[in-house]
Amino acid sequence: MAGVCAATRAPMMTSSRNAADPPVRWAADPAAPRSPFQFNQLLGAAARSRAPGGLEITDNELLVDVTAAAAAAGEGADPVDTAAELGATIETVQARTRTLFPDTRPVSWTAFGALIPVLAGSAGAGASCVAAAITDALQTDRRCALLIDADDPARSGLACAASCDGPWLRRVNDHISVRYSWRGDALLARVETDLPAITPGMAPVPPDWLPEPPPEPLHTTVVDLGHGGWRATASPLYGAGSWLRRGLPVQRPILVVRATRPSLHQAEHLLARLEPWVQRGIATPIYQLVVNGTRKWPPGVTGAAGPRITALLDDTVFVPHERSWEIGGVTDDPSPPKAVDALRPLLASWGLITSPRHR
């Protein structure tokens, strides 16, 4: 690493025709990369040198993109040092995952109570809205609920789900922490880092999301996978995909879609990615389909459903359109009553809250 890092402290990717280039470091080291392609190779090599367990391609691409962009802007620390630190952090998280969640034995979800992962079947489906509404339904019924924001904070739909960040932190490693805040009476957990990005492989292993000490009793944990569901279904052995690992008590994953043909097409592809893992007994299949933004299927939409979505249609739950969600997404205000009420029968059928008929 010493040789690699020393080389990068010399000039890398400036242009002699660009007078605005910063007058630093970019000078005459013959070992310095001479093109963006070579520079990206150098960043990737630096990260992999600190991750002997290997990096998934999504991690490698994201950390290279982030560090290269910072270098182009002339911001932050040495980009190769940053890439190496990102690689080391991914390795630390994955080593802990292999220890706590080895793929050689079943997973225990007992500490989480009833576990409900929520995935978006397509972009803009509203998985975060549904996850927040489920959590609000639980806390309204005086159930202790933990809402986990497992997506990249930069893309999270729960960024405004609490009125302020709570003061409680659980440090996972030198660069990754989980911060706990209040959403009403429910606990909201979000990942934080002092590094420039959180790659999929930096997502903490599920047990590291629990506060210390954990709530007693913790009735239900709702996990918002959001856009990360697309990656999670590709591998339940990596990153946020761990929330889909088969275990006991069995999770009830929810797939959120819109009542449109494109949404159903994308959701079908997501299920196809997950299917081999389900067949091998590694992942839990999708348990429930939720359609966000309507009270019923528009004519002609379900005819576009593939075989995997079709198998879920009979028990579909519809969440009516909510203008406040369309405009502002999830805020620290309680979820719209109509949306919460639409989800209550489902939660009651799972024994998680009192049946609406007996309230």
Torsion of the alpha carbons at 12, 13, 19 and 25, rounded to the nearest 10: -10
pLDDT score of 29: 56
Q: What is the pLDDT of residues 40-55, one digit of tens each?
A: 899 999 999 999 988 8
Lowest mean pLDDT among 16-25, 78-87, 229-238, 291-300: 16-25
Burial state string for 184-198 with b = 16 or more CB within 10 A and e = fewer than 16? bebbbbbbbbebbbb
pLDDT for res 228? 72
Here the tokens at position 96 are 């802990």
**Of residues 353, 328, 339, the one with CA closest to residue 159:** 328
The pairing of strands 254-257 and 107-108 is unpaired
* Tokens of residue 245, six digits: 């690992």
Range(s) of the chain covered by CATH 3.40.50.300: 107-358
Band of the pLDDT at 37, cuts 50, 70, 90?
A: confident
Give me the chain's average pLDDT, please. 88
Per-residue tokens: 297: 């299927």
245, amino acid identity = R
pLDDT by residue (tens digit) across 213-267? 888 899 999 999 976 788 888 888 888 999 999 999 999 999 999 999 999 999 9
Calculate mean pLDDT across residues 275-295: 97
CB-count burial class (<10 Å; 0-12, 13-18, 19+) for 68: buried
Higher pLDDT, residue 355 or 327: 327
Residue 23: the pLDDT is 38
By mean pLDDT, which of 125-134, 153-162, 204-213 is the weakest?
153-162
Burial (0-12, 13-18, 19+ Cβ within 10 Å), 75: exposed
State both tokens at 18.
């660009």
Q: Are 356 and 341 in contact (CB under 8 A)?
A: yes
Band (358; pLDDT cuts 50, 70, 90): low
Residues 101-113 have a mean pLDDT of 90
**CA-atom Rg of the chain in angstroms:** 22
Nearest Cα to 253, choosing from 238, 240, 269? Answer: 240
pLDDT, position 73: 82
Dihedral angle over CA of 88, 89, 94, 97, nearest 10: 140
Question: In three state form, how does the secondary structure of the chain look?
Answer: CHHHHHHHCCCCCCCCCCCCCCCCCCCCCCCCCCCHHHHHHHHHHHHHHCCCCCCCHHHHHHHHHHHHHHHHHCCCCCHHHHHHHHHHHHHHHHHHHHHHCCCCCCEECHHHCEEEEEEECCCCCCHHHHHHHHHHHHHHCCCCEEEEECCCHHHCCCCCCCCCCCCEEEECCCCEEEEEEEECCEEEEEEEECCCCCCHHHCCCHHHHCCCCCCCCCCEEEEEEECHHHHHCCCCCCHHHHHHECEECCCCCEEEECCCHHHHHHHHHHHHHHHHHHHCCCECCCCEEEEECCCCCCCCCHHHCCHHHHCCHHHCEEECCCHHHHHHCCCCCCCCHHHHHHHHHHHHHCCCCCCHHHC
Alpha-carbon gap, residue 234 to 270, rounded angstroms: 8
Q: What is the pLDDT of residue 281?
A: 93
Rounded to two decimals, the pTM is 0.88
What pLDDT, on a 0 to 100 scale, did the predictor assign at position 226? Answer: 72
Percentage of the chain modeled with pLDDT above 90: 70
Residue 356 has pLDDT above 90, yes or no: no
In percent, how much of the chain has pLDDT > 70?
A: 90
pLDDT band at 313 (very low <50, low <70, confident <90, very high): very high
For 289-309, what is each residue's pLDDT tens digit? 999 999 999 999 999 999 999
Q: Say if CB 232 and CB 241 are below 8 A apart.
A: yes
Superfamily of domain 107-358: P-loop containing nucleotide triphosphate hydrolases (3.40.50.300)
Q: What is the pLDDT of residue 102?
A: 87
Question: In sequence order, what are the residues at sequence separation of 6 or more whose Cβ sits closer than 8 angstroms to the Cβ of residue 108?
Answer: 247, 248
> How much is the pLDDT for 77?
80
Cα gap 280→139, rounded to integer Å = 36
Token pair for 89 = 């952090």
Q: What is the pLDDT of residue 5?
A: 41
